[in-house]
Amino acid sequence: MSLPRLDVFTLSHNAAKWPLPSKVLLGCALAASVWLVGDTWLLAPARERLNTLETQAAALQQALTQNAGLADTVEGQARQAQAMQEQVAGLLRQLPGESDMPGLLEDIARLAAANGLVVEGVAVLDEQSQPLYVEEPLQLGAFGAYHDLAAFLSGLGGLSRIVTVHDVVLRSDGPLLRLDFLAKTYRSTLPSGRAGRAVEQRPRFVYDAAFLRDPFQPPTSQADHARGRPTRAPDLARKRGALEAVPVDRFEMVGTLSRGVQTFALLRAASGVHRLAVGDYLGPNHGRVMAIHAGHLELAELFPDEQGAWLERSRTLVLNVNS
């Protein structure tokens, strides 16, 4: 059995005689066929390309946002790097063009005297050449109390020249502490016309032990480390006694002795027990006994400050009840 052949011409010719609803139905069928063919063969590839382009556009927009953030970060880092370069250049211009080691040694000796320290073992080491500057190191050792050593290091940071401290070693040496460290000062390798400018003065840290305790001493033996009050200079021509060559921290009060109306303090050091009265001198800092009580001794010591004036500082030696 064979199917009848579809005669399009006859169908289209007869369609003209169809009623209106049939014509509308036929037109909708033809339009749907055209839309289906067009969507399948023409619009689908274009729609796929559009989706791909939209995905690429979203990725590019995200990358653009990230790159904009990176650009801001790089710009900020570039400004920071430029500021650091300018700061380093300014520091290099402040370095002296010639060595001033004798002046530095004088400053160290002055700071040590101002804080009641004994400096020993000063060794000037070989210079170390760097690309933009020359290091001038020296090794130092100092004896003293904890607060005095801390004030000494703080004073090094306030000198007119740049001084840095390295390899700090602090250890106990009897009643005193020994501080060993490496100090470095610097000079510039720039031409003499570009080096040696004045150091910019900025606020610096100043160690103040007025309300701090010595962590290496029990609370009962803490010394008064107030800044001190101005006083007259001591008599430097006076002949010093034997007890003035021994640091005060090496003495301990072991008792008192009364003879009539006069009271003596008994102080013990490594060499034995010594008897002192009011007005006697003790220690290397022109210390003078001001008062003797049953439980403690009052001492006044004289120190030169950083400007060369003299300050008086009170000190108390507490009776060692276990002696």
Q: What is the pTM of this model?
A: 0.47
Report the range out of 38-47, 144-153, 287-296 with the highest average pLDDT.
287-296
Give the residue among 101, 114, 175 at the shortest CA–CA distance from 140. Answer: 101
Given the candidates 3.40.30.10, 1.20.1290.10, 2.30.30.830, 3.40.50.800, the CATH classification of the domain at 219-318 is 2.30.30.830
What's the burial of 309, exposed, middle or buried (CB within 10 Å: 0-12/13-18/19+)? exposed
Q: Tell me the average pLDDT across 90-101.
A: 70
The pLDDT of residue 87 is above 50: yes
Query: Cβ distance 131 to 155 under 8 Å?
Result: no
Dist. CA 262–CA 268, nearest whole Å: 20
For residue 198, the SS3 value is coil
Selection from 273, 272, 267 nearest residue 316 by Cα: 267
pLDDT at residue 198 greater than cutoff 60: no
User: Which amino acid, one-letter code, is at 149?
Assistant: L
Q: Where in the chain is the domain with CATH 2.30.30.830?
A: 219-318
Q: Which two tokens stand for residue 255?
A: 């008792």
Number of neighbouring beta carbons within 10 Å of residue 249 = 22
The least confident of 15-29, 129-143, 153-167 is 15-29
CA distances from 204 to 154, 155, 307 (A): 9, 10, 17
Q: What was the pLDDT predicted at 223?
A: 53
Tell me: pLDDT of 170 over 70: yes
Work out the pLDDT band at 60, boundaries 50, 70, 90: confident
* CATH 3.30.70.60 in the chain, residue ranges: 101-188
Residue 158: CB atoms within 10 Å: 13
List the structure tokens of 119.
Answer: 């400096």
Task: Indicate the residue type of 322.
Answer: N
Q: Which position has the higher pLDDT, 15 or 153?
A: 153
pLDDT at 322 over 90: no
User: Where does the pLDDT of residue 220 fall: very low under 50, low under 70, confident under 90, or very high at 90 and above?
Assistant: very low
Average pLDDT rounded to a whole number, residues 162-189? 84
Fold of 101-188: Alpha-Beta Plaits (3.30.70)
Query: For residues 210 and 288, which has the higher predicted lDDT (pLDDT)?
Result: 288
User: Residue 277 — very low, low, confident or very high, per pLDDT cuts 50/70/90?
Assistant: very high
Query: What are the residues whose beta carbons fall under 8 Å from the beta carbon of 253, sequence distance 6 or more?
Result: 265, 266, 267, 268, 296, 297, 317, 318, 319, 320
Sheet holding 296-304, edge to edge: 229-230, 310-318, 296-304, 287-292, 281-282
If you average pLDDT over residues 196-203, what whole number do you get?
54
- Say how far apart CA 264 and CA 259 lie, in whole Å: 8
CA atoms lying within 13 Å on the CB side of residue 178? 9
Banded model confidence at residue 43, pLDDT cuts 50, 70, 90: low
Rounded average pLDDT over 156-176? 82
52 pLDDT more than 50: yes
Highest mean pLDDT out of 76-85, 164-173, 313-322: 164-173
